[in-house]
Amino acid sequence: MSRSIVITGAGAGIGRATARAFLAAGWQVTLLGRREATLVETANGHPAQILPCDVRDPESVAKAFAQIPRLDVLFNNAGIAAPAAPIDEISVDDWLNVSATNITGMFLCARAAFGILRRQTPQGGRIINNGSLSAHVPRPGSAPYTMSKHAVTGLTRTLGLDGRAFNIACAQIDIGNALTDMAARFTKGVPQADGQIRVEPVMDVDHVARMVLHMASLPLEVNTPFVTIMARDMPFIGRG
């Protein structure tokens, strides 16, 4: 029987690339996202379970995960960013929007998946959270996003601890400059810590997809608690 994975934020970017990698590898893939049409586009004719879901909404998440009878892996991927600005110029609505998706959404999906993994027979599985290099160091003007990704690290560490009793592994992938629509601005120039605007190197998003597939394919007695994958020469080591 093929292994199963749920991927949130599967309608675009890293979620779409990862979903297609798992479909090509023969996994049973469940696609979660707000818009059914983009999920169908991600599946691209391959058999996949498509579940429109707003990860920010507890009822929507509960309804989606209730349709998943068995689970091996959750790729807890859905996330957004806010426009860069000093904190006093960031609207409260922008903060609430980012935190609702990147913190509450991550919590709700991890909670639902953990419950399935804990209670199914045989017990256990894996949760992979999408972090960011911003879980380590910030970009200028990124308070909401950076705060949210530090919260993801706390979630990963806690689930890694609490999951031991139930054969549940938890890992985090921290990604830097994978070329998606969200990261396209790096190719045109973005603010640096010294105030300059510079173009940054990017990498093909398929490298991320293959890394997540590798992490998900490990036996449960093995874990990669934190993995960093990035465009080699982007400003991270020495950022600031």
Contacts within 8 Å (CB) and 24+ apart, 101-105: 101/55, 101/56, 102/145, 102/148, 102/149, 102/151, 102/152, 103/148, 103/151, 103/152, 104/55, 104/56, 105/8, 105/55, 105/56, 105/61, 105/78, 105/79
Cα 153 from Cα 151, distance rounded (Å)? 5
Indicate the residue type of 181.
D
Neighbours of 199 (CB within 10 A): 11
In the annotation, is 145 catalytic? yes
Burial class (CB in 10 A: 0-12, 13-18, 19+), 93: exposed
Indicate the residue type of 151.
A
Tokens of 113: 């998946």
φ, ψ at 53 (rounded to 5°): -160, 135
Neighbours of 147 (CB within 10 A): 17
Q: Which of 145, 146, 215, 216 is catalytic?
A: 145
Element (H, E) at 210: helix 206-217
Active site positions, annotated: 145
